[in-house]
Amino acid sequence: MATKTDERIPKTNELTPKQHKTIAALLATPTIAAAAAVVSVGERTVHTWLGERTFADAYRDARRAAVTQAVTRLQQVSGVAVGVLVQVMANKDNPASTRVNAAKTVLEFAFRAVELEDIQARLDALEQAGTP
């Protein structure tokens, strides 16, 4: 028996090889027209496919995967970024405005991180309170 979750899972095996290539081209090119040209289909065809649930879901999943990969990469280098900010902030040879900007950036992100942790804690408490 199919569940609601099953209905949302794109059935990429229902896509044609050309549709799979189109999804890759949509991710790699700046416009629908450019993607259509790469895979030698009409722009109208791509728009039609984007209106079809299976194709649109598969494209959304591919975009989500690409963003997840980018976020993972950002997380990997975030320690280096913090190190650079700290070095700029601590270097007395840098102009005061540069040091202040680095310090503000560090503080802004620190405050944001605390806010996100607080929101997550509140959300967790609400979810637990609503669960029997």
pTM of this structure: 0.63
Distance of alpha carbon 4 from alpha carbon 75, whole angstroms: 33
Cβ pair 94, 85 in contact under 8 A: no
- Confidence bin at 12 (pLDDT 50/70/90): low
pLDDT of residue 40: 97
Amino acid at residue number 20: H
**Residue 25 pLDDT exceeds 50:** yes
Q: Is residue 60 part of a domain?
A: yes
What percent of the chain has pLDDT above 90? 85
For residue 88, give the 3-state DSSP assignment.
helix
Give me the mean pLDDT over the 104-125 stretch: 94
Please tell me the distance from the alpha carbon of residue 99 to that of residue 83, in angstroms, as a whole number. Answer: 13
**Model confidence at 132: pLDDT above 70:** no
Residue at 85 is within a domain: no
How many separate domains does the chain show? 2
97 and 54 fall within a common domain: no
Does the residue 8 lie in any domain? yes
Name the one residue in this structure whose structure tokens are 């007395």. 92
Residue 41 lies in a domain: yes
Q: Is residue 64 part of a domain?
A: yes
Question: What value does the mean pLDDT take over residues 44-63?
Answer: 97
Residues 42 and 3 in one domain: yes
Q: pLDDT tier at 130 (50, 70, 90 boundaries)?
A: confident
Q: Does 115 lie in the same domain as 61?
A: no
Please report how many Cα atoms fall inside a 13 Å half-sphere around the Cα of residue 55, on the Cβ side. Answer: 19
Q: Which residue bears the tokens 């990969």?
A: 69
pLDDT greater than 60 at residue 62: yes
In a domain, 16, yes or no: yes
> How does pLDDT run across 64-108, given as a tens digit for each residue?
999 999 999 999 999 999 999 999 999 999 999 999 999 999 999
Does residue 10 carry a pLDDT above 70?
no
**Of the candidates 95, 86, 21, 108, the residue with the CA atom closest to the CA atom of residue 59:** 21
Q: For residue 113, give both structure tokens.
A: 């991180």
Owning domain of residue 40: 1-75
